[in-house]
Amino acid sequence: VPPANLSVLYQETGDMDKALYWARESLRISPDAVAYSNLAVSYRDLNRLDEAKSITLEAESLDKKSPFLYFGLVGIAFLQQDPTTVNVALKRIADYPGYEDQPLGFQANISAFSGKLMSARDFERRSVASAIRADVKDRAGWTQAIAAVREQFIGNPGLAVRNAHAALALSKTSAVVGT
């Protein structure tokens, strides 16, 4: 649906007010899981966390579920410092075939944010291995690319370079290559 696509494009370019407008339009035209997910992310990105969580719960109650809905919920719950909801959302993502790597990637980022770098690296390795097993090498490459940036940021350039090379070996998508 074009409004959903516009919402995502505006989210990516940082124009959150327009993203919210088009997310609402998308939900009005086609109230599916994608529309609910986009609307929740738009609210989250505007720091309207209660509205974001409310729209997620509404989608669940209407059985408009998808891994993308729970991706948004992880972010909302993380920002609200609600580890119980983070864990529930991560489990729900893992229940979708082909998405088992995603909760591990989220856990890597959460661990890194909390200063648990060894744990972050372990989750990252497990996420990459899971993505490769699921034959989604682009996601494995993206996880490696994020790990490379993280390692460079914390002052570990050797590991950053190794992760960057591994990311490029797995995927040549624009998200990994940077074009």
Within 10 angstroms of residue 148's Cβ, the number of other Cβ atoms is: 23
Rounded to whole angstroms, how far apart are CA atoms 63 and 57? 10
Rounded to 5°, angle at Cα 65 from 63 and 66: 160
Residue 106: pLDDT band (50, 70, 90) is very high
Q: How far is CA 27 from CA 39, 47, 80, 97, 132, in A?
A: 8, 20, 25, 26, 34
Determine what percent of the chain is predicted with pLDDT higher than 70: 98
Rounded to whole angstroms, how far apart are CA atoms 62 and 24? 17
Q: Per residue in 39-70, pLDDT tens? A: 999 999 999 999 999 999 999 999 998 999 99
**DSSP assignment letter at 95:** T
List helix spans (H) across 30-179.
33-45, 49-61, 67-79, 83-94, 101-113, 117-133, 137-153, 157-170, 174-177
pLDDT for 172: 81
Q: Which amino acid is at 23?
A: A
Higher pLDDT, 100 or 179: 100
Q: Is 173's pLDDT higher than 90?
A: no
